[in-house]
Structure 1
Amino acid sequence: MTETLFLLDAYRKTAPGVVTGLTDEGGIILDTSLFYARGGGQPGDSGMLDWAGGRIPVATAVKGEGGQIILLPAEPAALPPVGASVEQRIDWDRRFGHMRSHTALHLLSVVIPLPVTGGAVGADKGRLDFNMPDAPEDKLVLQGRLNALIERRLDVREDWISEAELEANPGLVKTMSVQPPKGAGKIRLIRIGQGDGQVDLQPCGGTHVVNTGEIGKVTIGKIENKGRQNRRVTLVLDG
């Protein structure tokens, strides 16, 4: 099982690691991973691996069996041998964009309090699909509410609960298409705002900023009809 460094500190840009395995497809498995593995609508991280006598760009990271994270090279190249010590370096600008976008999407689910049927996180924009039969009357009103939440500079923190506690509180799960991963005995929650100022609490395994002020201003883009009762709402990050 790969240790998930990105959950311990989403702001960490470099970290050492040791190669524990190579896949038949040319993937690299480390004992620890700074690279977020694709899941929950958030892309896997990209970046670079360096070791004595070699370097390889990493295109993305995916989940493997038994809690492993597999790094996929961006191009065919010599791989580090099993047992080699490597230095991991993520594409920080891309990661930080994902963090801003992902946290903004959590807030979007606050200003549109409807079941979420899908979503995708990007480095400069993101989108959520809602079970929404009718389109919102005024997109600018939604945009204003969303930016007002961002400007409150709310703290973003993680908590953990047991799977039994989640089953007793099914309302925590907003996404209809993606269920929180189970089997480890505990579920990670992302809490936005603290105490009486809390605005959101939901299961999530992604990376987030620690304060909503880091998101910056956002613009609500297209609101598209994606089926009889589904509307896709896109937000765009400024800068």
Structure 2
Amino acid sequence: SDIYKETISEFLKQIVSTAFSGQELTEEQTQQKLAALLEEKSATVKDKFAEAEISYPLIKAGGQWKIVSLDTETVRIMSANFTNVQDEINQSLEEMETSQTQPEQEAPQASADGKIDMSNDKFTIHYKQHRVTTDFAGAPCLLVYYDYSNNGSSASSAMVDVNLQAYQNGNLLEPAIPESDDEAIDQFMTEVQPGQAVTVCQAFTLQDESDVTLQAGEAFSFGGGTVVSQVLKIK
């Protein structure tokens, strides 16, 4: 996390300086600048290590045990505490907005047909359908199916690129483990090559039969990024 903080702090300083000088950087130049700073800081900032014991929900499919969902602690460890650093940076940016005039952030938006449909340089997602089934304990759960296309230049997956959340009665719904196997759930975690498209599925617990609001955006996006939403009828 110290490496991330040092890198992004210096990066923001250089970007602001560049902007005030009237110079415009391409996306590739910006990425190269950030990569160079990360390499520099990783060589000068002392490493820190952490250990954690995490229990994972598993399901047996095709004769193999598979991890069904990753919790926030896993994401924090695998990203070298990047999520905590992201929260700190977002807070800092919000504080900056009180003293400077910032461009208006893009508001959450829905497509013309009211369905989740968004595309950027990394991916394209499009809602297909949803259905209610039961989880491994017999409780109702929601399955959300959507098409995912990898628009990037390297192999990736919906689990890495997409942040899809479901809300019911104002509460964030937890991931669920469906009772029956579904290939689309495996596709959610499977890496696909650039230009490839697959149908994926994410499962959520249900509290009752009231409407569910989906919100989709880019995972690990500073400042929130573009968010699209859709309301699903359960009953």
Q: Shorter-chain TM-score: what band?
A: under 0.3
TM-score where L is the length of structure 2: 0.25
TM-score (norm 1): 0.25
Write 1 or 2 for the structure with the bigger share of helix. Answer: 2
- Structure number with larger C-alpha Rg: 2
